[in-house]
Chain A
Amino acid sequence: EDKVVQSPLSLVVHEGDTVTLNCSYEVTNFRSLLWYKQEKKAPTFLFMLTSSGIEKKSGRLSSILDKKELFSILNITATQTGDSAVYLCAVALINTGTASKLTFGTGTRLQVTL
């Protein structure tokens, strides 16, 4: 069974702190790993990672993948209250047959306080 596990489940930090969110996976036929931010309803896309060791960066957010150890981290530096959200990790599998499965983890709920 394909499995995606995120930790911690929830986190409360002060504005300005740096946080690291973790995502580990056990799947067959790995294609890519994706990070999403969900504030209210629709998750919004942050990063897609396909190769080990190559950091993706967007402003204060960055992410990296380790395909040998089967995990990824999402870093947020100088956190702001607007970073408060649920962060979701998903793994896309190489097509098997006619279907392409996209499996999400449980999410990490981040709350940034003043």
Chain B
Amino acid sequence: DGGITQSPKYLFRKEGQNVTLSCEQNLNHDAMYWYRQDPGQGLRLIYYSQIVNDFQKGDIAEGYSVSREKKESFPLTVTSAQKNPTAFYLCASRRTGSRTEAFFGQGTRLTVV
């Protein structure tokens, strides 16, 4: 079955540690996105990528980093510079070149203690 897989579902980390969230898709989509969702809030864009080895900062990129070495994979690293990293993180992908919807993974809930 085609889809987007995020792992892990739940993640706990101590303050000051970097942590990497995984996002893999087998939909052959070009574009991939990372969003952050806080309780009672909408989705805020962290980073997005249209093609391999290229990515753009979203609205809240500070304290985060990404890579796009393969079309299928778009990992997000939450660094110690992110002041308030506890949140729900969603990864999405979509085809480009046409008007298409984005498909989402099931998310990773990160808790920093």
- The residue that B99 contacts in the complex, of A6, A31, A98, with Cβ under 8 A, is A31
CA distance A107 to B56 in the complex (A): 24
Would B99 and A99 count as touching, CB distance under 8 A? no
Complex interface: chain B residues within 8 A of A86 (CB)? 42
Is A111 part of the binding interface, using a Cβ–Cβ cutoff of 8 Å?
no
Instruction: Scan residues 1-47 of chain B and give those whose CB is less than 8 A from a CB of chain A.
Output: 31, 33, 35, 40-45
Interface size class of B (residues with CB under 8 A): 20 to 34
**Interface hub of A50, A92, A100, A109 (most chain B Cβ within 10 A):** A100
Q: A105, B42: Cβ atoms under 8 Å? A: yes
| CB-defined A-B contacts under 8 Å, sample of 18 | A43-B90, A48-B99, A50-B99, A86-B42, A99-B56, A100-B31, A101-B48, A102-B31, A102-B45, A102-B92, A102-B102, A103-B45, A103-B59, A104-B45, A105-B42, A106-B41, A107-B42, A107-B43
Nearest chain B CB to A93 CB, angstrom units: 11
A48 B101 Cβ-Cβ under 8 A: yes
Residues of B within 8 A of A (CB): 31, 33, 35, 40-45, 48-51, 54-56, 58-59, 88, 90, 92, 94, 96, 99-107
**Main SS at interface, chain B:** strand
Question: Chain B contacts of A32 at CB under 8 A?
Answer: 99
Interface assignment of A68: CB less than 8 Å from any CB of chain B: no
Residue in B closest to A101 when the chains form the complex, CB atoms: B48
Distance, CA A101 to CA B58, complexed state (A): 8
Question: Beyond A99-B56, A100-B96, is A106–B42 a contact (Cβ under 8 Å)?
Answer: yes
